[in-house]
Amino acid sequence: MAESLAAFEEHLALARRSLAEWPPATAEPERRAASAAIDESLRRAEGLRLNASPEGYDQLYALLGEALDPLDALGDVAERLEEMS
């Protein structure tokens, strides 16, 4: 599980870095919202990787869901960006 979470964290870090490549016309509030969502998911994934010892599938599923929850904001960001274009 630790290896999978580390890979997930790597991909989140790549996504975080890709925000710098967004077109300059991209609204700053959307960029900040995306950045905050990624940062929070990174924080939760790291905590899960370092501290969690889930007892069974149900607990693991819930913990993984909590790590992914902040990324829901990216859907809202995408909708707002689409409306702007």
Read off the tokens for 34. Answer: 């995306």
- pLDDT per position as a tens digit, 20-43: 888 877 788 899 999 999 999 999
Beta strands in 1-85 (DSSP E): none
Give the ranges where 1-85 is alpha helix by DSSP (H): 2-18, 28-51, 57-68, 73-84
- Say what the pLDDT of residue 22 is: 85
- Say what the pLDDT of residue 75 is: 94
% pLDDT > 70, the chain = 100
Taking the model in full, what pTM does it have? 0.85
Closest alpha carbon to 21 in 8, 39, 34: 34
